Amino acid sequence: MPAACEATRSACGFEWKTRASLFGLPLICVSYGRDSQGRTRIARGWLAVGQFAFGGIAIGQFGAGIVAIGQFVAGILSCGQLALGILMAVGQISCGVFAIGQIVVGIYGVGQIGWAKYLWCEWRTDMEAVSMFSTIKMMLLHEGGIRIEEVIKGGLRWGSDWLSSIVK
């Protein structure tokens, strides 16, 4: 806590939320600093921005959400220095089904070094990884982009095949 805040025990920083909410969570929440009791403020909302952020889209130094962007983050889609993503992680150190970064851990990985079932790096090139990431690139650059229905259908089919291979 800054010296001026410590001396008076006053709140430093601020918190702003929209009045509109969905399922009890504000649409937007921005917060940083500490409250009057000296506790760290945490941004919670569908769009959460702050040092600590939790929500649908979380942007912060430490964050968790469906989409998380920051320094240390976890989510379904994560982008950060240390990124843990259930589906995709992009970062310096990334872990997810699809991991892209310097150090990667996942099923499909592309990076400088890593541990993945299918890895594309300096010392190992699995054609499955090359094919997967090239296909993703092609789909993203294709005119019209990727349709969400295709992603859901393909993801469900791939996920069920993956789960059944584990159970066997």
Distance CA 83, CA 101 (A): 9
pLDDT mean over 13-27? 90
pLDDT mean over 74-80? 94
Q: Is 120 left (phi over 0), alpha (psi -120 to 50) or beta?
A: beta
Q: Is 154 left (phi over 0), alpha (psi -120 to 50) or beta?
A: alpha
User: pLDDT (tens digit, 9 = 90+) per residue, 30-74?
Assistant: 998 888 888 899 999 999 999 999 999 999 999 999 999 999 999
Token couple for 150 = 């295709």
User: pLDDT (tens digit, 9 = 90+) per residue, 135-167?
Assistant: 877 777 776 666 667 766 776 777 677 667 777
